[in-house]
């Protein structure tokens, strides 16, 4: 399959919060990615920088504010959408405020596997629970298909860029990811 052609890209943000060895994800209740877990984010509004949009979306969707660091850039294409999705990905290890459910997202904490090898086991055998905290490990089986390819390295501290092209059923057909640090 060739890379899908596109004329324009729409800019989005996505923010991941980690605290006390746990990862905060949101269960998406509507729109793009409905019924999947993801970081918090959305479209960048006209006149906004991606960094400003990331802070706004985190506040709107999870009720918290964080000093977000830019960590990654992703480009997604699907025959279902006219424009590529260009997603700037942010990260923080602390936040202010109380994590709160919104109309769009139901926040939930997950246990983080302690090595990239353990991530692989959690990907292969989903729904495992961390006996120490009682939390479920990251629900890769309920996330976008690309996430399992970059989230383990991202949580180990690597920044990256990448692209993934999906088919009309939402499965990845072609992709590349490159660590930049
Ligand atoms: C295709 O693969 C994707 N992977 C990941 N990890 N995240 C993705 C993928 N495609 C989209 N996303 C992210 C990007 C955004 O954070 C959300 C979608 O944002 P949404 O369309 O919900 O934007 P909002 O402005 O919040 O929407 P409303 O207009 O409904 O408020 O998914």
Q: Say yes or no to pLDDT of 154 above 90.
A: yes
Instruction: Give the distance from CA 116 to its chain's centroid.
Output: 17
* pLDDT exceeds 90 at position 102: yes
CATH number at residue 20: 3.90.79.10
pLDDT tens, residue by residue, 10-24 = 999 999 999 999 999
> Does the CB atom of residue 62 touch ligand 1 within 6 A?
no
**Does residue 109 lie in a domain region?**
yes
Tell me the CA–centroid distance for residue 64 and ligand 1, in Å: 18
3-state class of 69 per DSSP? strand
Q: Is 113 part of any domain?
A: yes
pLDDT in tens, 33-52: 999 999 999 999 999 999 99
Q: Could you read off the pLDDT of 80-96 as tens digits, one per residue?
A: 888 999 999 999 999 99
Are 88 and 13 a contacting pair, CB within 8 Å? yes
d(CA 166, CA 174): 7
Query: Ligand 1 centre and the CA of 131: distance in Å?
Result: 32
Whole domain around residue 40: which residue ranges?
9-179
Q: Mark 47-59 as b/e (b = at least 16 C-beta within 10 Å).
A: eeebeebbbbbbb
Look at the chain and report how many structural domains it folds into: 1
Residue 4, domain member (yes or no) = no
pLDDT value at residue 80: 84
pLDDT at residue 178, rounded to an integer: 97
ipTM of this complex:
0.94
Residue 67 domain flag: yes
Which residue in 87, 71, 94, 86 sits closest to 153, CA to CA?
71
Cβ atoms 78, 166 nearer than 8 A: yes
């Amino acid at each position: 399959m060739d890379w899908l052609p596109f004329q324009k890209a729409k800019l989005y943000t996505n923010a991941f919060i980690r605290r006390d060895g746990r990862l905060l994800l949101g269960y998406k209740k509507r729109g793009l990615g409905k019924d999947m877990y993801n970081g918090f984010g959305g479209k960048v509004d006209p006149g906004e920088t991606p960094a400003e949009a990331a802070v706004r979306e985190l506040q709107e969707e999870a009720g918290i504010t964080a000093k977000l660091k830019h960590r990654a850039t992703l480009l997604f294409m699907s025959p279902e959408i006219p424009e590529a999705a260009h997603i700037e990905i942010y990260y923080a290890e602390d936040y202010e405020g109380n994590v709160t459910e919104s109309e769009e997202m139901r926040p939930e904490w997950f246990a983080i596997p302690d090595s990239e090898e353990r991530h692989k086991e959690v990907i292969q055998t989903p729904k495992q629970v961390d006996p120490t905290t009682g939390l479920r490990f990251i629900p890769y089986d309920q996330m976008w298909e690309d996430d399992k390819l970059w989230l383990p390295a991202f949580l180990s501290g690597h920044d990256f860029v990448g692209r993934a092209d999906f088919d009309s059923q939402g499965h990845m057909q072609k992709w590349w990811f490159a660590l930049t640090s």
